[in-house]
Structure 1
Amino acid sequence: MIKTKDKNLITYLLSYFLYNTARVLPHAILTVLLLDKGMIVSQIALIQSFYMIAGLLFEFPSGILTDLWSEKRMYQLALICLFFSYLAIWLSNKFVFLCGAWFIYGLSSAAISGSLEIYFLRQYQNNDHKIRRFNVAYNYATLSSALIGGGIGSFIYAAIKIHIYIVALGILLLALLLITFFFRGNSLKPPAKQTNLIAEIKTIKNNTKLIFSVLQMAIYQIVAQLFFQFWQVMFLHKTFSSSYFGLFYVYFQIIALISNYLFNKMTGSKRHFLTISLITLFLLLALQVTSPLLFIICFTLFLFPFNIYNTQLFVDIEAASPPKVLSSIVSFSGTISSIISMLTLWLISGLNNLLNFKQMCIAITILFFGLSTFLLSVKARKNVK
């Protein structure tokens, strides 16, 4: 007989798989879709900025609300927000309404970042092995759903255009019903513990290990934004046709799945400096080579440590966080990372006016390596393990 805890985990992972499949379904064609709605490039950039604004405003407050309220309710709220966001995108061609839709999308992302995932991490607190196993299972659900949703999204859009959002809405509704009727966990906090929440948060300033992990995650966003926002430009500079970008998206998800498997098999010390060095080395090599084949090889070798380092940092933050305020810490880390992400994009915009694209990428990569190395050296001097 399956235990209630195991049933809850299976229910959550299945619901999250459906949620993420629906979320990424239109991702491969978002820019094309907005162009079809009559938007121009400057309007598209402004529309998408509302997602980031919502994240900056609400990610940390959503974590505190989760600690005071309920992980399940926050998860349901996130799905409902995404449902209405996608409904607005499906129904409207107006610039103002689309800005609002992307803002609600940002609210959904902020709400889900510290929701039911935290419910399970609280149970596994102080057990690094269980935290690692949960993160691996969570990553498999995330990556496999992204692989499926991203892989079929462009084909669905080619067949039914804007009505791809009807498919996404149906999947979201199924995910919401699944978690509402089959998840039996009671995640409400006793009132006596709620009154101590602020005091618990204040103790974080003395948690040096957690502070360094949050800062490492923030600095990681420098190279993450370079990859996520500009990989298509990198491939165009290496003479790849944009018609292959859908296949490359699927390829990236497969590499992420393999990276997750390798992380699960890794044992021993964390070797942060080695991972950072490999990320920097292979990305710089990819930028320098002229052969498309060598570029693909170097870029693939870059993605393995890139994905592994990201997962390790999440595990470090979760393992070092006090159980009572875990959701608040995860959301706080997300807020700091969002700020660094926005600053990085502004820096890239400025550097791109002074340097060519390749030189700008090299400068950003070196900045990531320099700041990461400096932080690790300070961490070593303070003897933080």
Structure 2
Amino acid sequence: MADTTAENTQTTIVSDDMDLLRFATAGSVDDGKSTLIGRLLLDSKSIFEDQLEAVETSSQAKGYDYTDLALLTDGLRSEREQGITIDVAYRYFATPNRKFIIADTPGHIQYTRNMVTGASTADLGLVLVDARQGLTEQSRRHAVLLSLLRVPHLVLAINKMDLVDYSQETYEKIHQEFKQFATKLNIPDLEVIPISALKGDNVVDRSEHMSWYSGPTLLHHLEHVHVASDRDLMDTRFPVQYVVRPKSDEFHDYRGYAGQVAGGVLKPGDEVVVLPSGMTSTIESIDLFDQQLDEAFPPMSVTVRLADDVDVSRGDMIARVKNAPTPAQDIDAMICWMTNKPLQPRQKLAIKHTTRTGRAMVKDLQYRLDVNTLHRDQDTQELGLNEIGRVTLRTTVPLLCDPYSKNRTTGSFILIDEQTGVTVGAGMINSGS
């Protein structure tokens, strides 16, 4: 790892049962998203020596008098040449307190679809703003998208404070402006932190230049933000991904149903219903590799065995008898359109919801949402690339869904072009019937 000979080198012990935080960066171009992630990786000792040497060599070749940490995340050649982030870059690191998965998402408006992809599974959204520029249209745009995606925690990182002489007045002005804007959005938890990604102020270590700031550093907040209660632990949802039937004499009677728990808590002895058939049974055991578990909860991937020999296949869902989703074929949803060919009413597409696939027709395009002003254009006839709108779909198979506001897994889906197999849309369900 980087700086392995330094006296302050910290050995990070990663265990399988450590808590995991997924967070996505967002904001305008050149606000320093990639540099911030590079700083987090560097100061948390999560970079290999050869990686750091390559970045230092590249920075010197460009004539920089500093290490360009953005090169650690801008992996595509076109990104390095243009100095921008195009695709979503995923990075992984850990501290003694928590494991992290970072999605570095693009800032350009034409890559909104990439930003939506990166933020769709995030527990926390990190919006950067340049302290010199303040809130921009793209900063507001990404805050709106994070709100639409129901990302439960948001951090506004006011970056490049070193370029405004660490001014408290600048920080307070941007803080108050964003708080006023956030009242229009659904943001349950907001933290505002002044930082300098290039210098390292308030990223991992507390800044000596901003004694007026008494809040947490960015890493401290990321390590301690509470995310366990964000998951739906009330409504049991277990989409079946695969039927496990080992072809061996030792396990010739074994029949299990593998998948990822999308909601609630599963325990042996629970009475459950298999949808859409409606057959009931009880959970005999919950298996994880060679061990049996006392319970399973989101986002654990396990194999469930039932006491009765009922017909279960991929695309089915196991739920509680008295708390099961209602199968729906008329779907009201928000759509982010991801391809050049526009979405139009009467269009037919393939749909994938959890582990279930089918076909869908666009019955109605209700409105296009302007994510800058939140204006609803009800006269629109189509959705173009990177645009978001509200639609009504009719599916050929019933979807076992919940509202997206209640469960982000069973409340989301993707739309696929049947001719090319390309994902053309991502949806968030409002309701189904």
TM-score, normalising length: structure 1: 0.29
Structure with greater helix share of residues: 1
Between Structure 1 and Structure 2, whose CA radius of gyration is higher? 2
Structure with greater strand share of residues: 2
Q: RCO greater where, 1 or 2, for CA within 8 Å and sep 6 or more?
A: 1
